[in-house]
A and B are shown apart, each in its own frame.
Chain A
């Protein structure tokens, strides 16, 4: 288990109280690329949160980046994401 994934999970949980949160460490598939060699990881996340209700895509991603804060400087080189509201997420929305 990567501790960076745990750190990301903690920050997102604290800021967005997601109903569903999936984080995948894709760093291995980018090994050797310039950003990866500098030590930053590549991650992909699916985040379902009521906090995204009424927000544009840009605003949602800005909320996530702001929650990740200084991790974006070094630990994270790329953070690709799907930021969904509960009603946009088929499984969570039906709960």
Chain B
């Protein structure tokens, strides 16, 4: 399957998805680790892709997101940002609201 189409489908199919270096249990970069900590504090379930295990995603995600670094968080199909923006939105309480809205919407569809 076309890599770009595959990435777009991943983003569309998962209400919350984190593209990261390593896994939530073993993040392999401080910035990805910070993203995981923030999502954990929000108590939300999320999908993740370890870009070290998916080199084609690592190479091509930037063509979809126009964002050159990892981690990258997508909520309901939209790029929220990297760990700086996640922290900023978490501190202002906006991230919690955004995530609560996204996971509720996911439940309704089920």
**A interface vs B, CB < 8 Å?**
30, 33-35, 57-58, 61-62, 65-66, 72-73, 78-82
Contacts and interface: CB of A to CB of B under 8 A. Distances in A.
Interface of B: 28-31, 66-69, 79-85, 88-89
30 contacts: A30-B30, A34-B29, A35-B29, A57-B81, A57-B85, A57-B88, A58-B67, A58-B79, A58-B80, A58-B81, A58-B85, A61-B81, A61-B82, A61-B84, A61-B85, A62-B66, A62-B67, A65-B66, A65-B67, A65-B68, A65-B69, A66-B66, A72-B68, A78-B31, A78-B69, A79-B69, A80-B31, A80-B83, A81-B84, A82-B84
A65 B84 CA distance: 14
B69 A34 contact: no
A33 B30 contact: yes
Q: Which secondary structure dominates where chain A touches chain B? A: helix
Contacts of B88: 57
B55 to A, nearest CB: 15
A57 B89 contact: yes
Nearest to B88: A57
Nearest to B86: A57
Contacts of B31: 78, 80
Contacts of B68: 65, 72-73
A61 B68 CA distance: 10
Contact of A80 (B67, B80, B84): B84
Given A61-B82, A65-B69, A81-B84, 10 more contacts: A30-B30, A33-B29, A34-B29, A35-B29, A57-B88, A58-B79, A61-B81, A61-B85, A66-B66, A72-B68
Given A58-B85, A61-B81, A61-B82, A34 B28 contact: yes
Contacts of B89: 57
Contacts of A58: 67, 79-81, 85
